[in-house]
Copies of this chain bind each other. A is one copy, B any other.
């Protein structure tokens, strides 16, 4: 076994187990051991440790992820403060446009939704706080990438870019062109590039130093994403919200 220098393999394994639990709803020992290719005793000890530390729950021999990792991470989210500032604007944005507003930040090679306001109408896109989307085929991701320094963009757009639908832009050159265009326009769109029936339009949010720190989007079913709605409703509403937030961020 080739060993990485200066890393603790045991910890890495434990974190992997935690991630697997997150995707699994509930699992037994043997089942998970097979999935992760760990021996039963090893996995048993890891799970026992996770339970002892409160990260996993055990009931009737079955393991589940607890809320502890969420709780821990919530402290980091809270520190972003962004949320408090954006929330009232996002509410107004959602009302004006009748669509769902999302606040997202870049995290690794994807974006994560850190706040949202659901559209007040029954047909809407199902999303959740903490949900991750690929940066290269989401409006929020592209709005952020468009305003990021080139070297940061390179890290995120490490080929190959995964294809999700026939509209996903997987060609890095082509994507860069689009990002340049988005920078010019001040907004980015996603037309079914991740999920066929979901479209979105997003604007970047910049802090006092004009660095992009997040993005704000309207996310909706493709059928409602008409050029007319974009021009007369979504874009004006997003721009107003972004301007107000940027002004606030300028002060803080």
Q: Which residues does A use to contact B, with CB under 8 Å?
A: 6-8, 10-16, 18-19, 22-23, 25, 44-46, 48-50, 52-55, 64-79, 105, 107-108, 112, 114, 128-132
Contact = CB atoms under 8 A, between A and B. Distances in A.
Contacts of A74: 70, 128-131
A214 B131 CA distance: 23
A108 B74 CA distance: 17
Contacts of A64: 76
10 smallest beta-carbon distances between A and B, as pairs: A74-B130, A70-B73, A11-B14, A69-B73, A10-B10, A69-B69, A65-B76, A22-B75, A22-B72, A78-B128
A19 B108 contact: no
How many copies of the shown chain assemble into the complex?
Answer: 2
Nearest to A115: B129
A53 B15 contact: yes
Contacts of A23: 75
A27 to B, nearest CB: 13
Given A25-B79, A48-B7, A49-B7, A73 B130 contact: yes
